[in-house]
Amino acid sequence: MIIHLLNRRRFRIVDWAATSFLLKASRESRGKKKLKHILILICRTLAIAALIFAVARPLLGGFLGSGSGSVGTVILVLDRSASMETKSESGAPSYRQSVITRVSEAVEKMGSPRLVLIDSASGDIQEVPSPDALPELSTTFATDTQADIPTLLTKAIDYIDETNPGQTEIWLASDMQRGDWRPTDSRWNAVRAGLESLPSETKLRILSSGSEPVENIAIELVASRRVEDNLFLDLKLTRSKDDGASTVPITYSLQGARSAERVKINGQELRFQKRLPLSAADIEGSGWVGIPSDNNPRDNSVFFAFGGKEPVKSWIVSEKPSSNTANYLRKAAAPDGFDRYSSKIIAPTQTTKIDWATASLIVWQAQIPNGAVAAQLQEFTTSGGSVIFFPPEKPSENIIFGTTWGVIEDAPADEYFINGSWIKDDGPWRNSLSDQKMPIDQVRGVKRCSIQGDGSSLAEWDDGSPLLYRQLEGLGTAIFINTLPDDRWSNLEFVALHLVAIQRLLEKGTDRLHAGYRAFAGSEKAKLRGDEVRDRLDAFEDYEPALGPYRAGVYRLGERVIAVNRPAAENSPLRVNVDALDTLLEGTSYSLFESNKDDNNLVSPVWWAFLIAVLFFLLAEAILCLQPKLTGPPALSTSKTSPAS
């Protein structure tokens, strides 16, 4: 043992060149093996990860962005408004039809999760038994209604809160029509708060048709009224694109008898009036007006109905009922020769005589009322009545419709107040339907009463102060004219502008009385009451009972006759663009899919790609695991030498 320990201290290290080369080769071999093992580990890890992704059935698509087939519930919020029937081109399916088909296919590719439908017409929430059944449901058919997107999103949010369906996605299908989205509605604050409060796994997907308008023409019935033996229809054409002057054929059907004419439109809008003569036997009746079919067949017709002759009543409230001015205003409201027109002059203390339910127009030439009378005036105007205010001799500080009379001013000696500017296409002094302008530039005033309020000025004096002033209140209109048709005040009596204003406001107020024959599709008025039975009177298109309240047409509902039309907002070509959408949904996480920019497929299953990846990684791992073929030292050549001879 001692000898062994002593001998260990005697050896010497001698560097040998051959040994150093062997050690270096061994270290290099170990590095290559380590890298090889790392690559094998990576391949095995990626193969397992790809297998997991394949089992999760991931999906890709422009609409979903990326997601998983494990979504438990899809809530489809479907816009069924009239504008959704627009087609991208002739012969193509409408946007509503296209989106229903694509949603049905997408849900099926996701493994058919639970599908819940909220449609804009009925507002009902229903579970769809199968994606294939979606196009066959009456709650996905075309309607003439208007959508209320904030209300629909609120219903989807409340449904998630109440049922807690797990991983859920809200799919909102809409053509982004501005009237349906109501971007100025204060309810969007609550919608944003509701979306932010949803569980993190809930996603909002917006399926949009894009903000670019499609070429289309819509017709609208602005008003209808019977005057003696004539029916007057105020109509409007709206084009989505201004392509210069064009001619549009119009067909009129009254009690089954048809007539036609052509009108010329230059610009995006044209408003015109049509007079349809009635016979003495036409106590009541109905009809329709149509234009040729284009890229949206739902906005190519309007319907009307009328009843017997109704009296047209107006009331003149004057601080001096016996004055010439009061009598002149009365004659302007009830021209000679019109038997159904009547007008009565009363003092401000006699307003209890007014039959507010049958009145068309109130002319108020007295101090602005307050208390109960002011409340009655406001209720009358909100329901569609017309009110025109002329200044009193001594204004008070009372306010109505946010407006009050100011001080009375006299023009300088030997001078007049002169009109400066006016709006030519709006208000009671607008140009005629033939575009003949009113003689507003001929107005001269020697006395006026200033107007103070937050309404809009439709005509001004040359110093910018209001001459004709308007406040809109509900369905009605309140007009203020700050001078009188009296030679002590102005020359309104001679240019007859006060007569034009009174007659036009009288027409608008009278339309309120005929409104009993009109309703909007989807409104409560268009629905059955009690034991009423619905019967369609016009033969414009086939009647579908399930869609009765939601389709335009003329209907008899029990004892009522109603002409149902789509809301006017559905004729507008305005759309909500991406910037406006970002503002409405600010702070929320949503995805936008525009069908005119992205792939038509809402979702695409990619699990098969991950299976291919599994095979690839396993194959790579197998190749790396192969051992290299061993090669020995070169064989020594042996040669036989012949024996020396």
Query: Going by C-beta distance under 8 Å and a sequence separation of 6 or more, which residues neighbour residue 384?
Result: 474, 475, 476, 508, 509, 511, 512, 515
Q: Give the neighbor-by-neighbor strand order of the sheet with 604-605.
A: 65-68, 58-61, 604-605
For the chain, the first-to-last Cα distance in angstroms comes to 65
CATH superfamily, region 312-514: Class I glutamine amidotransferase (GATase) domain (3.40.50.880)
Give the up-direction half-sphere exposure of residue 59: CA atoms within 13 A in the CB hemisphere: 21
What's the rounded Cα separation, in Å, for the pair 274 and 284?
Answer: 18
Burial of 258 (0-12, 13-18, 19+ CB in 10 A): exposed
Which amino acid would we find at residue 248?
V
What's the rounded Cα separation, in Å, for the pair 356 and 458?
Answer: 27
The predicted pLDDT at position 18 comes to 59
The conformation of residue 299, written as its DSSP 8-state character, comes to G
- Residue pair 142/85 in contact (Cβ under 8 Å)? The answer is yes
Is 312-514 in the same CATH topology as 63-212+575-601? yes
Burial of 453 (0-12, 13-18, 19+ CB in 10 A): buried
According to DSSP, the β-strands at 447-453 and 341-346 are: unpaired
What's the rounded Cα separation, in Å, for the pair 269 and 237?
Answer: 6
CATH superfamily, region 63-212+575-601: von Willebrand factor, type A domain (3.40.50.410)
The predicted pLDDT at position 610 comes to 62
**What are the beta bridge partners of residue 450?**
none
Task: Tell me the domain boundaries of the chain.
Answer: 26-61+608-625, 63-212+575-601, 217-308+521-571, 312-514
Give the up-direction half-sphere exposure of residue 396: CA atoms within 13 A in the CB hemisphere: 10
The verdict on domain 217-308+521-571 having CATH code 2.40.128 is no
Q: Give the neighbor-by-neighbor strand order of the sheet with 301-306.
A: 257-265, 246-254, 285-290, 301-306
What's the rounded Cα separation, in Å, for the pair 358 and 335?
Answer: 19
Question: Could you say which residues of the chain have pLDDT below 70?
Answer: 1-33, 36, 50, 53-69, 210-211, 336-338, 596-611, 614, 617, 621, 627-645
